[in-house]
């Protein structure tokens, strides 16, 4: 049985459709990402699941119960907000214990579960502090602890990593994955960061203008994009026009370079960038630009390829997607 089921959900704002989802099933224990640029409807979808946004039409079913008209407080959800939204007048322990009190858990059990959850998020001695005394990463963990302590049916995460610096974001990604694995909690995650979605999720729904463009596993989304939009949004993708006016999508790491020898139209390297984990070559061929990425520098006759070199661009047609 699906943990969350969305049917015919739609919402308009000033005559403009902001959300239009025919059907979406999120499985039990799944880590599900809603991915898309800002304004694509991903946050509205999450807020509709939470009962914080009221859809014009449609049904939301959580754990087999139709909750469309059930108020937020009775949906038994955990939610982490983008800016964490810790209660400023309560200590860390009181923040985490808040949901337990509202769920009528006895004080003795509440204190024990707060302590357990503090340990789970790696901040066992933080109970007596106030939110303003915490760093961004610590607030993040406490917000997560507050959302999971009462064992919600579904955990909702609204861009929880976007306010952290790059290094902390990667650490917290691993942390989220670990927590999800140990709690087996159905998690719906909203993000505009395709890398984050690919790294964390079991499945991803790519959204555009309020509609779901594609649902699939990270590798399906990445390797077999259903549209030019998905190909372009997920991963840096080369989009080339062929003679028939069709668009060919090919990932830069699937493009190989060889020395130009007896080809009608060789390409010319117009730029080389070192990305740390890869080398990126920008090649101009037939008036179009194509990027190739390699783990090792491309060598021509014992020297590294550089701007101005002529090259042959090679890729396996099976790696490319063709869109009419």
Partner 1 sequence: MKRGALLLAAPMSVAVVFFFTPLLLLAYRSLAAPTGALTLDHYARFFADGYYLGGLGVTMGTALLVTLITLTCAYPVALSYWRASPRLKSLLIVLLLSPFYANIVVKVFGWMLILPSSWLNGYLGVLIVSVHRDLPFMVLLLASAMTRIDPDWIESAQTCGATPARVLRTIIWPLSIPGVVSGSTLVFSLTMAAYVVPAIVGGPWRGRFLPVSLYQQMTIAQDWAFGAAIGVILLVASLITIAAGNWLIKHSKAGVLVREGFDA
Q: Which residues bind partner 1 (CB under 8 A)?
A: 50-52, 71-79, 81, 83, 85-89, 98-99, 102-103, 130, 132, 146-147, 150, 156
Give the nearest distance from C-beta 279 to partner 1 in angstroms: 43
Specify the residue, 11 or 146, whose C-beta has the smaller distance to partner 1: 146
Which residues make beta-bridge pairs with 26? 4
Specify the residue, 183 or 272, whose C-beta has the smaller distance to partner 1: 183
The single-letter DSSP state of residue 121 is T
Specify the residue, 50 or 230, whose C-beta has the smaller distance to partner 1: 50
Give the nearest distance from C-beta 91 to partner 1 in angstroms: 9
Give the nearest distance from C-beta 72 to partner 1 in angstroms: 4
Which has the closest alpha carbon to 203: 188, 213, 185?
Answer: 188
Q: At 135, phi and psi to the nearest 5?
A: -80, 170
Dihedral (CA of 233, 234, 236, 238) sign: negative
Q: How far apart are CA 249 and CA 240, in angstroms?
A: 6
Specify the residue, 76 or 280, whose C-beta has the smaller distance to partner 1: 76
Give the nearest distance from C-beta 138 to partner 1 in angstroms: 15
Give the nearest distance from C-beta 123 to partner 1 in angstroms: 18
Q: How far is CA 52 from CA 161, 226, 227, 236, in A?
A: 21, 31, 31, 34
The answer to whether 194 and 204 are in contact (CB under 8 A) is no
Give the nearest distance from C-beta 106 to partner 1 in angstroms: 15
Secondary structure of 175-244 in HEC code, one letter for each residue = HHHHHHHHHCCEEEEEECCHHHHHHHCCEEEEEECCEEEEEECHHHHHHCCCCHHHHHHCCCCEEEECCC
Specify the residue, 89 or 167, whose C-beta has the smaller distance to partner 1: 89
Which residues make beta-bridge pairs with 215? 205
The answer to whether 305 and 292 are in contact (CB under 8 A) is no
Q: How far apart are CA 30 and CA 22, in angstroms?
A: 20
Specify the residue, 72 or 273, whose C-beta has the smaller distance to partner 1: 72
The two structure tokens encoding residue 255? 């493009």
Give the nearest distance from C-beta 90 to partner 1 in angstroms: 9
Give the nearest distance from C-beta 100 to partner 1 in angstroms: 9
Specify the residue, 133 or 307, whose C-beta has the smaller distance to partner 1: 133
Specify the residue, 58 or 152, whose C-beta has the smaller distance to partner 1: 152
């Amino acid at each position: 049985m699906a943990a969350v089921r969305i049917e015919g959900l739609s919402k308009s704002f000033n005559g403009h459709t902001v959300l239009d989802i025919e059907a979406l099933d999120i499985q039990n224990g799944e880590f599900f990402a809603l991915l898309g640029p800002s304004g694509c409807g991903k946050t509205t979808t999450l807020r509709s699941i939470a009962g914080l946004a009221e859809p014009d039409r449609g049904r939301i079913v959580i754990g087999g119960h139709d909750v469309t008209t059930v108020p937020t407080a009775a949906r038994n959800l955990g939610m982490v907000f983008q800016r964490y939204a810790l209660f400023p007048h309560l200590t860390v322990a009181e923040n985490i214990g808040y949901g337990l009190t509202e769920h009528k858990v006895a004080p003795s059990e509440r204190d024990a579960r707060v302590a357990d959850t503090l340990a789970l998020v790696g901040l066992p001695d933080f109970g007596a502090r106030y939110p303003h005394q915490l760093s961004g990463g610590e607030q993040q963990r406490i917000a997560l602890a507050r959302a999971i302590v009462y064992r919600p049916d579904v955990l909702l995460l609204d861009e929880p990593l976007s306010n952290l610096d790059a290094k902390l974001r990667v650490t917290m990604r691993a942390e989220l994955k670990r927590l999800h694995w140990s709690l087996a909690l159905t998690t719906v995650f909203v993000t505009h960061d395709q890398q984050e979605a690919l790294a964390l999720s079991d499945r991803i729904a790519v959204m555009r203008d309020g509609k779901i463009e594609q649902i699939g596993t990270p590798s399906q989304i990445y390797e077999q994009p259903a549209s030019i939009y998905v190909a372009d949004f997920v991963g840096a993708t080369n989009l080339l026009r062929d003679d028939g006016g069709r668009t060919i999508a090919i990932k830069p790491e699937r493009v190989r370079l060889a020395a130009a020898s007896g080809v009608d139209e060789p390409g010319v390297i117009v730029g080389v960038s070192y990305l740390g984990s890869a080398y990126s070559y920008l090649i101009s061929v037939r008036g179009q630009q194509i990027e190739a990425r390699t783990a090792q520098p491309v060598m021509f006759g014992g020297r590294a390829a550089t701007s101005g070199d002529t090259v042959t661009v090679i890729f396996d047609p099976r790696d490319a997607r063709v869109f009419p």
